[in-house]
Amino acid sequence: MAVGARSGHDEPDKRAGGAFGDDTTGDDVTGDQQANPPGGGAPGDGDGGDEAAGGSGRTPKKQRSFWKELPLLVGIALVLALLIKTFLVQAFSIPSESMMNTLQKGDRVLVDKLTPWFGSEPERGEVVVFHDPGGWLEGQTAPTPNVVQKFLSFIGLMPSAEEKDLIKRVIAVGGDTVSCKEGGKVVLNGVPLDESSYLYPGSVPCQDSFGPIKVPENRIWVMGDNRQNSLDSRFHQQLPGGGTVSNDEVVGRAVVIAWPVTRWATLPVPEIFDNPALNKAMSAAPLAAAGLAGALPLVLWRRKKLAVRHTAEQ
């Protein structure tokens, strides 16, 4: 009686095995589907039933567990961090007071390492990080980092753990002539520099005279902003290079103070280094030398001609 009430008295319900009362799929499909199930099989056929239930006959793939994907994500993040540190930017810690007040001890700066890969060279006024040219850090001991600090500094997530790098401001580049008299201003290519915008308050441009020094090509002359507390190019003139630093030793330009957040600031080039007179003065010396070299043969020829005339008159 229960079967008749569901399927009708005149037509018996057709189900797998021909049994009456088996009601597993009858309520979920239309009459046409009961008569001709998907897949071309008979009602109740195993293949047709699977396609009707699953649509495609295939069970969906189970999503991978987050914990199984985590090591892969961590690995990708470490590789990206290493690539960024190697080719793009790197964090450095300021270990001394030689660049105050521009940079304070404990600041973290981000250094642009990308542009040197495209042939960019240090320019006047930039704050740069460079490797010890040899002997600049002699006798100074750096704190010994632990294994975690070494690893994080290796991939660039912490400042350099080796602490064998220095940070100073570029004052002169290859071809420039720089000098300073005690208590006076630094003179670059004959132009006195007004450094008041970045020198440590109360600091004089130089407490001891130096120069004039002609900076060799592909080298730079660097000085700290805290002139009375900076062992810069002035104090290493007895070393190879005469106190200058090779461009190849430069890691990159410090572009921003990243930490602490209360000290966040960019590190632009001071306006005094945009003075066109610096380039004119630098180019005037080679022109004068070229003019002298060109005039010398003419002077010798004229003297020889006068000597011949004087001999003929006698």
168 is catalytic: yes
How many other β-carbons are positioned within 10 Å of the β-carbon of residue 48? 19
Give per-residue burial for 194-209: e unless 16+ CB within 10 Å, then b: ebeeebbeebebbeee
246 is catalytic: no
Q: Is residue 110 within 8 Å of residue 89, measured between CB atoms?
A: yes
Catalytic hit among 85, 93, 160, 168: 168
Give the pairing of strands 250-259 and 108-112.
antiparallel
Backbone torsions φ then ψ of 121, nearest 5 degrees: -115, 155
Q: Is residue 90 within 8 Å of residue 160, measured between CB atoms?
A: yes
Catalytic hit among 93, 98, 160, 230: 98
Residue 207 CB contacts under 8 Å (≥ 6 apart), including other chains: 182, 183, 227, 228
The SS3 assignment for 112 reads strand
Show which residues are catalytic.
Answer: 98, 168
